[in-house]
Structure 1
Amino acid sequence: MTIPVDQLTDPAVRAFVAAVNAGDRAAFAGVLAPGATMSDDGSDRDLDQWAEKEIFSSGGHMDVESEQADGRALVVRYRNDTWGEMRTAWRFLVGDDGKVTRFETGQA
């Protein structure tokens, strides 16, 4: 069972997932704080390069299975055209301005 995007608890995380699923680069950029950072499987990556490869040019999509930590920790069935589908964990740090300052993802 998945949680509908519009029912995710944290507004910044909800906007992040919606932007990914819509393939909307502008909305994705709008959800991120200036200088936002990210890691994949424990390694820091260039956020722009990673997002282009893993989300936008490969049809990335997030089906949220569960959320914790007031909606800032998700377990997601993530799929894209490169890797297929995998179960992943996502953690988000959100600043006082409601923008994502960092996200970390990896195998769940």
Structure 2
Amino acid sequence: MTIPVDKLSDPAVRAFVSALNANDQAAFQAALAPGATMSDDGSDRDLAEWTEKEIFASRGHMEIESVKEDGHALVARFRNDTWGEMRTRWRFVVENGKIIRFETGQA
């Protein structure tokens, strides 16, 4: 069973996932704080380069399976045109209503 995006409790995380699923780069950037950082499978990555490759150029999409830590930790089925579908974990650090860091990797 998947959790609808509009049921995500944290507004910044909800905006992030909604923008990702809509392939809306402007809305995605608006969910992030200036200077936001990220990591993939434990390695820090260039956020702009990673999101372009893994999300926008390859039509990334998330289906949420579970939510923990007050809406800041998700398990999702993530798919894109490059890698297909995989079970992933996402953890968000939110400050002043914006995501300052997210970490993802295989679940």
Map 1:39-50 to 2 at 5 A: 39-50=39-50
Distance, in Å, in 1 between the alignment partners of 2:15 and 2:31 is 7
Distance, in Å, in 1 between the alignment partners of 2:60 and 2:78 is 7
Q: 1:92 Cα deviation (Å)?
A: 0.1
Equivalent pairs: percent with the same residue? 74
| 1:76 matches 2:76 | yes
**Structure 1 stretches of 5 or more lacking a match?**
none
Distance, in Å, in 1 between the alignment partners of 2:9 and 2:66 is 11
**Structure 2 stretches of 5 or more lacking a match?**
none
The amino acid of 2:8's aligned partner reads L
The amino acid of 1:14's aligned partner reads R
The match for 1:94 is 94
The match for 1:59 is 59
Q: 1:68 Cα deviation (Å)?
A: 0.1
Size of the aligned set, in residue pairs, is 107
Query: For 1:105, what is the secondary structure of its paired residue?
Result: strand
Distance, in Å, in 1 between the alignment partners of 2:23 and 2:70 is 25
Q: 1:85 Cα deviation (Å)?
A: 0.2
The match for 2:103 is 104
Q: 1:102 Cα deviation (Å)?
A: 0.0
TM-score, length-normalised on structure 2?
A: 0.99
| 1:34 matches 2:34 | yes
Q: 1:59 Cα deviation (Å)?
A: 0.5
Distance, in Å, in 2 between the alignment partners of 1:62 and 1:13 is 12
CA deviations over 1:57-104 (Å, ceiling 9, x no partner): 001000000000000000000000000000000000000x20000000
The amino acid of 1:10's aligned partner reads D
Query: For 1:44, what is the secondary structure of its paired residue?
Result: strand
Distance, in Å, in 2 between the alignment partners of 1:25 and 1:14 is 15
Q: 1:43 Cα deviation (Å)?
A: 0.2
Cα RMSD for the two superposed structures: 0.3
